[in-house]
Amino acid sequence: MFTLIKKEGNARRGRMETVHGIIETPVFMNVGTSGAIRGGVSAFDLKELGCQIELSNTYHLHVRPGDRLIHDLGGLHKFMNWDRPILTDSGGFQVFSLAKLRKIKEEGVFFNSHIDGAKIFMGPEQSMQIQSNLASTIAMAFDECVENPAEYKYVKASCDRTFRWLQRCRAEMDRLNSLPETINKNQLLFGINQGSTYEDLRIRHMEQISQIDCAGYAIGGLAVGEETEEMYRIIEAVEPYMPQDKPRYLMGVGTPQNIVEGVYRGIDFFDCVMPSRNARHGNLFTWEGKITILNNCFRDDPSPISKSCGCPVCKRYSRAYIRHLLKAEEILGMRLCVMHNLYFYNDLMKKIRDALDEGKFEEFYRLNVNKLASRVQ
């Protein structure tokens, strides 16, 4: 159940109720690909970092350790010891980006595992079955994430197929949710909008998929190499055709600036590996702008990463110590940086929600949108 609490311009303040608890939106989902956050961060840590919803990857968990195994152990929540909402992606994106020798047909995709080369078939039904085994709160529909750039004709045919796949996803999830052995019988489905950078195809596809009853709708296939302005243009084009009473999820986005711009354009859900990936290389986010902790100027700096940050890392450790750990290749350095960046993203969303609650999002936007993208050191 999604409730749209408030609007300011196109920006939306909402609340989604699930069997695993409430999600206050706008929200950033913290990415734990294989059931753990890269950089040594656990689900237990995520609570301290203010995470509301964790995202795991269907493809990764399907090939290792296997979704049947996770089902038999009680589902992903129990496996990773996380009792709040989990969203699983469909596996589609990874099949198209990681797997080798793939072949797309009407029934689904044939491909080889990136781990052992084993032949795998995944279609809408398989994706739903895997996600049902994982027992996530929200399952994503199986789609084709078209490469950028792509031919108009190919994109149009692909969108039609992705629409037919959504119909099959809906039917299969309904069947699975009614089975006695299903762990989460209240699993929710999000449909995915595609159409590359063609506005008319995006709108046409959005009109198609909004006919299928989904708990939310995502914009997929963006942030895959196109210019940022082009991404904003597509969001603006497709947004008016997205149901107002359902949450909207901009997949794989993005920088703090991208997120503020996304909220400004009516997006509710975000996810990105950026905070953890950047952190592992010492690139850290602060309200004053970005810093690279490996820079020599931090070698004897006793201050925290950010004085205005309330994260467990900034409460305990100095820039000098964290820089030293990264230089000495101590894994603790990565862990602390990942924790800081994830907290920063979750805190960013909280401050966005607070601004919306107070009717001051426009002001928040003006004050922060450029500063967030600046570089301090």
Near a copy of itself by CB under 8 A: residue from 39, 124, 247, 254: 39
* 267 vs 181: CA distance, rounded Å: 35
CA distance 132 to 183: 7
Q: How far apart are CA 239 and CA 320, in angstroms?
A: 45
CB of 365 closer than 8 Å to CB of 275? no
Q: Is residue 47 a contact point for a copy of itself (CB under 8 A)? A: no
Q: Does 83 bind a copy of itself (CB under 8 A)?
A: no
State how far the Cα of 235 lies from the Cα of 220, in Å rounded to an integer: 10
Q: Which of 9, 19, 47, 74 binds a copy of itself (CB under 8 A)?
A: 74
* Interface pick for a copy of itself out of 331, 359, 360, 367 (rule CB under 8 A): 331
Query: Do you know the residue count of the chain?
Result: 377
**Smallest distance from a copy of itself to CB 302, Å:** 6
**Does 89 participate in catalysis according to the annotation?**
yes
323 vs 340, beta carbon nearer a copy of itself: 323
Q: Does 42 bind a copy of itself (CB under 8 A)?
A: yes
Question: Sheet holding 11-18: strands in order across?
Answer: 2-8, 11-18, 21-25
Angle between helices 331-357 and 361-368 (to 10 degrees): 140
**119-122, strands of its sheet edge to edge:** 100-104, 109-112, 119-122
Tell me: does residue 281 bind a copy of itself (CB under 8 A).
no
Of 243, 184, 183, give the one whose Cα is nearest residue 215: 243
Strand 86-88, strand 109-112: pairing: unpaired
- Check binding of 77 to a copy of itself (CB under 8 A): no
Q: Which is nearer to a copy of itself, 202 or 323 (CB)?
A: 323
| Pair of tokens at residue 355 | 């601004």
Stretch that binds a copy of itself, among 12-20, 72-80, 141-149, 287-295 (CB under 8 A): 72-80
* Residue closest to 121 by CA, chosen among 136, 135, 107, 141: 107
Which tokens in the block code for residue 219? 């914009």
Position 336 contacts a copy of itself (CB under 8 A): yes
Active site residue 67: no
Selected catalytic residue, list 89, 143, 268, 347: 89
Nearer to a copy of itself, 104 or 332 (CB): 332
Contact with a copy of itself (CB under 8 A) among 34, 177, 257, 292: 34
Binding mask 292-321 for a copy of itself (x = CB under 8 A): -------xx-x-------------xxx-xx
Binding site for a copy of itself (CB under 8 A): 34-42, 44, 60, 64-65, 69, 72-74, 79-81, 299-300, 302, 316-318, 320-321, 323-325, 327-328, 330-336
The residues annotated as belonging to the active site are 89, 271
